[in-house]
Amino acid sequence: PPLELFSVPLPIPPVKEPKYIVPNPETGDDIQYYEMEIQPFSEQIYPDLGLTHMVGYDGMSPGPTIIVPRGTETVVRFVNSVGNTSPNSVHLHGSFSRAPFDGWAEDTTQPGEYKDYYYPNRQAARMLWYHDHAMSITAENAYMGQAGVYLIHDPAEDALNLPSGYGEFDIPMVLTAKRYNDDGTLFSTNGELSSLFGDVIQVNGQPWPFMNVQPRKYRFRFLDAAVSRSFALHFALTDDTATDIPFQVIASDAGLLEEPVDTEVLHISMAERYEIVFDFSNFAGQSIDLLNLPSVDGLGTDTNYVNTDKVMRFIVADETEAPDTSVVPATLRDVPFPEPGSGDFDHDFVFTRTNGQWTINGIVFTDVENRLLANVPRGSVQRWRLRNPGGGWTHPIHVHLVDMRVISRSSARGVEPYEAAGLKDVVWLARQETVIVEAHFAPFPGVYMMHCHNLIHEDHDMMAAFNVSVLAD
Ligand code: C2O
Ligand code: CU
């Protein structure tokens, strides 16, 4: 594509302000009320081509960022102003939302309608994201723009003095991979039956951007919001891309890790979040590239293209504007790991391609009679075994409602240190891997979804339901 790499600055999604704040009549605490409109918009992405037409929250992609303090409830009215026939459903990924507000795929809002979603925000500080979840069109809706960041912060995390200031030293990094038509429009995912890897790597909606940074520490919050592409992220000097520069992973899907994990390569698959601190202080006046190992380091099955090994560039200033007083403490928090369940595993799920469809235990989500694959007593801790026997596919598995501890992985890489140090709501099942996870099925009862987060697999129809049931005494 006729696009100069690293020539446009990294956009930062704006912070969404509540429309009003009212007290909860029972608790007296604030409830923030937001309104977001799902709207078509056009943007000049390729200088020499036509406009790119998208549909996004408040007419932008990524959507605006919602930032809430832990314990402040929110109601978000999502208005479908798409104008054609496209329904939507909104899932706040990583939130323990009650089932009616969890973005159930068939609970769609039609053009001209709205739905108010209630979110408790009682979880510890973490990076959530909101995205479309409508039946069979999630891939197309999310890919055309319906995805945004939602941050919960809390006093415990704020007290650590990590690099802070949204958009200043605390930077959201929404990774996607897209494919464009010759006229500048996006190539549709609609005809795809297995994956759309995309040859254009974007961060916060911008292909291969750059960012001017100071020689100090930054917190980068990565989210892989791509339809099908996994990444193996690493940093190197522009002039010496063969030598990786180490960094610290501080948080994952469910917030801070127990302690920072040093690494040189970070594996991130679809819907996963990893937050890192990168220290530019030794690189004043230099330029550093964020890169992606081809073939995701042997784990992924992604198609590589000419520039998919590059993500973005950081131009480091000669000096800081003010001294960097932020720190990365040796201990970050006590992660609420569940008490171990009993036995090897309570449920066994196998993710395969069967007769041209993507299935879980041979079932597809459209098989309404059979798609409820597990009944789980509310409050119980269960171990689930997840298996991907295929050699050709990667399946990042997302279980709604819960945070999972990754107990074991069968392949040579084992459980990554940055997976083990925290809790996850998505776990990457690379080819031929078997992973055992453990979760506390709480706080709410209800029927929730679990699925592959390759959005094309999800739409066709690698998704199932589980029921968190209220225990009879
Ligand atoms: Cu991020 Cu069920 O989805
Ligand atoms: Cu999959």
How remote is the CA of residue 446 from the centroid of ligand 1, in Å? 16
pLDDT (0 to 100) of residue 361: 98
pLDDT (0 to 100) of residue 473: 45
Pairing of strands 90-93, 126-132: antiparallel
Round to whole Å and give the CA distance between 422 and 406. Answer: 9
How remote is the CA of residue 393 from the centroid of ligand 2, in Å? 7
Residue-averaged pLDDT of the chain: 95
pLDDT (0 to 100) of residue 451: 98
pLDDT (0 to 100) of residue 360: 98
Point out the ligand 1 atom lying closest to the alpha carbon of residue 93: 1
pLDDT (0 to 100) of residue 339: 80
Least Cα distance to 419 among 230, 273, 208 occurs for 273
Give the chain as a 3 state SS string. CCCCCCCCECCCCCECCCCEEEECCCCCCEEEEEEEEEEEEEECCCCCCCCEEEEEECCCCCEEEEEEECCCEEEEEEEECCCCCCCECEEEECCCCCHHHCCCCCCCECCCCEEEEEECCCCCCEEEEEEECCCCCHHHHHHCCCEEEEEEECHHHHCCCCCCCECCCEEEEEEEEECECCCCCECCCCCCCCCCCCCEEEECCEECCEEEECCCEEEEEEEECCCCCCEEEEEEECCECCCCCCEEEEEECCEEEEEEEEECCEEECCCCEEEEEEECHHHCCCEEEEEECHHHHHCCCCCCCCCCCEEEEEEECCCCCCCCCCCCCCCCCCCCCCCCCCCCCCEEEEEEEECCEEEECCECCCCCCCCEEEEEECCCEEEEEEECCCCCCCEEEEECCCCEEEEEECCCCCCCHHHHCCCECEEEECCCCEEEEEEECCCCCEEEEEEECCHHHHHCCCEEEEEEECCCC
How remote is the CA of residue 285 from the centroid of ligand 1, in Å? 41
Point out the ligand 1 atom lying closest to the alpha carbon of residue 426: 1
Q: Which residues of the chain have pLDDT under 70?
A: 1-2, 295-298, 471-473
pLDDT (0 to 100) of residue 300: 76
How remote is the CA of residue 362 from the centroid of ligand 2, in Å? 14
Nearest-CA residue for ligand 1 atom 3 is: 93
How remote is the CA of residue 92 from the centroid of ligand 1, in Å? 8
pTM above 0.95, yes or no: yes
Q: Would you say the CB of residue 449 lies under 6 angstroms from ligand 1?
A: yes
pLDDT (0 to 100) of residue 341: 73
Q: Would you say the CB of residue 91 lies under 6 angstroms from ligand 1?
A: yes
302 forms bridges with which residues in the sheet? none
| ipTM of predicted complex | 0.98
Cα torsion 334, 340, 341, 347: sign: positive
Point out the ligand 1 atom lying closest to the alpha carbon of residue 129: 1
pLDDT (0 to 100) of residue 180: 95
Q: Would you say the CB of residue 133 lies under 6 angstroms from ligand 1?
A: yes
Point out the ligand 1 atom lying closest to the alpha carbon of residue 103: 2
How remote is the CA of residue 292 from the centroid of ligand 1, in Å? 24
Least Cα distance to 355 among 347, 364, 346 occurs for 364
Least Cα distance to 15 among 149, 115, 195 occurs for 149
Q: Would you say the CB of residue 451 lies under 6 angstroms from ligand 1?
A: yes
Point out the ligand 1 atom lying closest to the alpha carbon of residue 450: 2
pLDDT (0 to 100) of residue 340: 79
Cα first-last separation, the chain: 63
Nearest-CA residue for ligand 1 atom 1 is: 93
Q: Would you say the CB of residue 457 lies under 6 angstroms from ligand 1?
A: no
How remote is the CA of residue 388 from the centroid of ligand 2, in Å? 9
Burial tier of 4 (Cβ tally within 10 Å: 0-12, 13-18, 19+): exposed
How remote is the CA of residue 396 from the centroid of ligand 2, in Å? 6
Q: Would you say the CB of residue 131 lies under 6 angstroms from ligand 1?
A: yes
Point out the ligand 1 atom lying closest to the alpha carbon of residue 449: 2
